Structure 1
């Protein structure tokens, strides 16, 4: 999905309407609620923005899921459930009709209409908005999105149209059976037109923001906390339990852990890897480890020498001992990654790559030969900067890998850390040689991972460009046959293994500390958490 600073069956309705469901907090019979329903969460980093069309990271998405609601939402187990749209239908997986709830309202009391979604989708794809996720609308194959992004067609021509206040019609270029599952992503959230256009860049500030989710923005103290309060206008407010939620931008996992143990926060963003075994022993009821559809990797700037040389990229990738990173440096259940698509993704299992079957000693030998062939040796050592966003966990991984490169290849690496927002900008501008990165699927399908490395993807910061890879991904969107699509994905993974534009390191798990008395914590494989699903139990 999304850049991370630190399995579902796609619930797509091919024909007929989906009935309305609710997935807000369900308090079991006999559970006594705490008198004070105020949740405090660690959030990893200070958010870069709260504009849904200008975000690209997990910290931002965490807050936006509470502030805004899209046509659909992600259920506790990752299932696709109705949001503002109570139901929808399609007969051909190409034209989708969404029926909006008549009681959905913005936080200022205005009704949420199909016109709001039409405006928002067109704003998200408009080059004037400069959304880092405009490409998402093209990958969703919404008609005319590609031409709009290219600047050859007006944003008004995007095939998202309000038939009336409560009926939205979206037309795709070609059938896409998993389309509905793409619509709980932050780029598809609605924004309030009058507020956006009336307040300009200040529309996301407290006192200005108008949102349509279960919560509304109360205060935002930069580098300290964001506080949201329950929105009485939300259509399902009666089912919401928690009255206030605070997000703390704690970049230090140790500081976050200490605040959790001091009962100052209820849920951490992550936990310090060196304390995991102790915490598991001393606080077993507070450990939450779940599968997570995402990959941690190092990205090469393929437009910068010598990383335009596949031999250099491959040598560096081969030398990373993934088993050591996953099992000893981390040790929370992460899996060594030899493909970009994680094995947990729904409906697709990446084929083992040949180099993955080699022993680490054999990989090291091949790596040394490749680097020598590229002109680097003891007399002419390879030197470069490794960029990562500020995090103790990222630093530990970077130190370990830099040591592997030094020992195995004689490579000299300078570690450079930057704050989240600066790091994102550096990557976007191409101001890096090799950078730590993480990608979390936006929806549970292999294309949500693989599309990142297409040449026209706005988040392809390493500027990898392979016509053969692009063609395979284009073909995958033209078929409705799952087996044929999986075959294209296998071929795409093989190309990545040969070109090595990124070095996959491990497959994520979601590992954090959660108070045992926080009820409603879900087992969501995309880590899509909604505060409205949770409740605090009396101690």
Structure 2
């Protein structure tokens, strides 16, 4: 799409915003569709939610999954030591808080004795031991296991590198219902970390019986969470029903969750309007015309989005290996135009990695405000860096490719990036590659791209969940960035300064500064989401970490939907 098209779209949206404001309705933010605290009414009528996802689930294996879609539905079908409820840690298979030794290296979790798998077998500490060992076993090829457990649980690194046996992992069962974990170092966020799906238990006999087919079909799954998967039509839909064997089944009121895969935003809105979906995110072109709908809601996520600038591809240096190329690209995109016009969904521009309203100092200062702005939109600075880059590269013509997804929003975004970069950086040609989510993951892992549109949802509430990604040996670096100074600051925050909050705060500030002054990534925006949510949807809790939604406590108030019509 060329520049004139974006200007036309901007004018249309400004006009529709004006008309919406003149109508006198509310902004639509808030409401009770996604918050348990404000929900009213009661469960009545069919306890069924009809939802959508833009992508299929790559895998339902807790130790293999790395994506947000998989994490969402694994969290509903499995249960770890704890689960998230409205951003707070709630009991799962563990009862009460863990017992932590004085040196903060030994954590003991007491497990409930009434938890069962969907085949009727008890959930025990042995299931956690097997799952955690499996997560760091090189044969499993788990990305998250070594990433989340390495350097944290005793011997996890050595096992992941094939230097020690899985039996040496610092996790043991003290009987059937007590789990004892030994850490390499104090980890203040470890309890929060256990809510991540990588730490969920799996039933050894079933996993080994299924072999390499485990968790790839509904029939190849076993559950210990509130729901279980009963249908998985790859590429089109999947279905979950209440798990009657769940230890807290009395709390679960939903009987069924049906999920359609809908990539086209207009199609999703039509399905919502015709009552075939109870919730759908809406893209820019629908926000202003639907902002006064009773079902309109908007949320700011804790997920930053950025361009990953890969410095080496298939063994060859890319143009992104040049720091001035990276600085030019990072400063040549009008981020405000992106969030206001292209996204128009509640997202906000960001000039750093750590999102706002995510992490605060002991005296309540927000990290984003304390760290300040890096690589802000500045065409003059971008052009200056670009001319220097071309001199250093010895060419006036540079071509790069941007990798992204194939959804409507992804397509609109990458077209915008292409227009901005080619307009502001003379001699730059931008190609785009729009692929399904699973293929994008594969290209990312194999580092077979130049620039990738990427985002990250935090795994736990701590800056390390973001900063650790870009360490030289980070499991999710995948862009050939390396800085000794950055590695030192990040590692210091979780080693010698682990129990010193003020020192950790300063380490994180220093690390982010190094990362952005190196222009290792180009920060773009902090994710916001606009939704149409049926008034019948109640008590769906919203989380910052792990799965975006929590359905254990949800219910359908069909009378509320009828009254709203």
TM-score (norm 2): 0.86
Quick one: structure 1 residues 34 and 482, their matched pair in 2 at CA, closer, same or farther if it must change by over 3 Å?
same
Does the CA-based 8 Å contact 2:345-2:529 persist in structure 1?
A: no
The partner residue of 1:232 within 244, 250, 253 is 244
Q: How far apart are the structure 2 equivalents of 1:419 and 1:317?
A: 25
1:80 corresponds to 2:89: yes
1:373 corresponds to 2:386: no
* RMSD, matched Cα: 2.0
Pairs within 5 Å for 1:251-266: 251-266=263-278
Corresponding residue of 1:213: 225
Instruction: Tell me the secondary structure at the aligned position of residue 36 of structure 1.
Output: coil
TM-score (norm 1): 0.90
1:408 corresponds to 2:418: no
Q: How far apart are the structure 2 equivalents of 1:417 and 1:240?
A: 39
1:525 corresponds to 2:544: yes
The partner residue of 1:222 within 234, 257, 262 is 234
Q: How far apart are the structure 1 equivalents of 2:197 and 2:267?
A: 29
The partner residue of 1:55 within 52, 56, 65 is 65
Number of paired residues? 508
Does the CA-based 8 Å contact 1:260-1:266 persist in structure 2?
A: yes
My pick for the range that moved more, 272-281 or 422-431, is: 272-281
Q: How far apart are the structure 2 equivalents of 1:308 and 1:431?
A: 15
Does the CA-based 8 Å contact 1:266-1:518 persist in structure 2?
A: yes
Could you tell me how far 1:489 is from its partner in structure 2?
0.6
Residue deviations 1:103-122 (CA, integer Å, cap 9, x gap): 01100110000000010001
Q: How far apart are the structure 2 equivalents of 1:49 and 1:287?
A: 31
In structure 1, list runs of 5 or more residues that go unmatched: 1-24
Corresponding residue of 1:398: 414
Q: How far apart are the structure 2 equivalents of 1:110 and 1:535?
A: 28
Instruction: Tell me the secondary structure at the aligned position of residue 40 of structure 1.
Output: strand
Q: How far apart are the structure 2 equivalents of 1:484 and 1:349?
A: 14
The partner residue of 1:488 within 507, 514, 517 is 507
Instruction: Tell me the secondary structure at the aligned position of residue 363 of structure 1.
Output: helix
Q: How far apart are the structure 2 equivalents of 1:30 and 1:537?
A: 9
Could you tell me how far 1:345 is from its partner in structure 2?
1.5
Could you tell me how far 1:264 is from its partner in structure 2?
0.5
Q: How far apart are the structure 2 equivalents of 1:521 and 1:407?
A: 44
1:513 corresponds to 2:529: no
1:499 corresponds to 2:515: no
Does the CA-based 8 Å contact 2:50-2:258 persist in structure 1?
A: yes
Could you tell me how far 1:140 is from its partner in structure 2?
6.4
Quick one: structure 1 residues 139 and 476, their matched pair in 2 at CA, closer, same or farther if it must change by over 3 Å?
farther
Q: How far apart are the structure 1 equivalents of 2:271 and 2:192?
A: 36
Pairs within 5 Å for 1:77-476: 78-87=87-96, 88-92=98-102, 93-138=104-149, 141-204=152-215, 205-268=217-280, 270-281=281-292, 283=293, 285-303=294-312, 304-347=317-360, 349-350=367-368, 351-352=370-371, 355-356=374-375, 360-375=378-393, 380-410=396-426, 411-476=428-493
1:534 corresponds to 2:554: yes
Could you tell me how far 1:34 is from its partner in structure 2?
3.0
Q: How far apart are the structure 1 equivalents of 2:540 and 2:506?
A: 36
Does the CA-based 8 Å contact 1:117-1:190 persist in structure 2?
A: yes
